[in-house]
């Protein structure tokens, strides 16, 4: 590549990447067609004149999210980073907060949202925050787990979500786990 062509690539790249001009603005300023600007920017990347580096502390998590998304055909994946020094409680709290943000971002009026039970889902309730208005129905996906802290019970979780979103709720008044086959036959 001769010096004039390289100069042109550098000039256009500088305008786009450093001066933050749009391709249309560069075209007006230089008298070059916008489609040519697009090709010049691509050539600058292909020739190594422009090298884009994405930095961030959570790059590994984002890569893992993309791999899981691709492998399982998922719409969205969220990998929540954890430190070795964090307690189980702290990890569950972070997971609960992240799950609330994720669900809040995808939930829309008319949806039916189902929950199971457990301490991690209970942490989602802790992270709900202020009330929101959504025409959503919240339902348990499984019966209750039997003896466990009330804040981890599926009906408590479902009720808390319905209350926070001013949505609708349905309950299952049945055990998911029974102590014996005889108990199951009695129900």
Residue 27 belongs to a domain with what CATH number?
A: 1.10.10.60
For residue 150, give the DSSP letter.
Answer: G
Whether residues 111 and 27 share a domain: the answer is no
Say which range, 3-17, 23-37, 117-131, has the weakest mean pLDDT: 117-131
Domain encompassing residue 72: 55-81
Q: Is 90 exceeded by the pLDDT of residue 174?
A: no
Structural domain total, the chain: 3
How much is the pLDDT for 106?
A: 87
How much is the pLDDT for 24?
A: 95
Average pLDDT over residues 167-187: 69
Calpha distance 154→170 (Å, rounded): 11
Note the pTM of the prediction, 2 decimals. Answer: 0.63
Whether residues 89 and 156 share a domain: the answer is yes
């Amino acid at each position: 590549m001769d010096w004039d062509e390289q100069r042109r690539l550098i000039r256009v790249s500088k305008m786009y990447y450093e001066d933050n001009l749009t391709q249309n603005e560069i075209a007006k300023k230089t008298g070059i067609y916008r489609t040519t600007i697009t090709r010049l920017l691509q050539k600058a990347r292909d020739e190594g004149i422009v090298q884009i580096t994405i930095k961030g502390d959570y790059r590994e998590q984002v890569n893992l999210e993309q791999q899981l998304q691709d492998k399982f055909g998922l719409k969205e994946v969220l990998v929540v980073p954890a430190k070795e020094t964090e307690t189980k409680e702290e990890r569950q709290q972070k997971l609960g907060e992240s799950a609330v943000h994720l669900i809040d971002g995808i939930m829309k009026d008319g949806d039916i949202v189902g929950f199971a039970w457990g301490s991690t889902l209970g942490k989602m309730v802790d992270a709900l925050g202020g009330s929101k208005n959504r025409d959503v129905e919240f339902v348990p996906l499984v019966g209750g787990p039997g003896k466990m802290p009330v804040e981890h019970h599926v009906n408590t979780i479902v009720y808390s979500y319905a209350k926070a979103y001013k949505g609708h709720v349905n309950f299952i008044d049945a055990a998911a786990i029974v102590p014996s086959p005889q108990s199951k036959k009695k129900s």
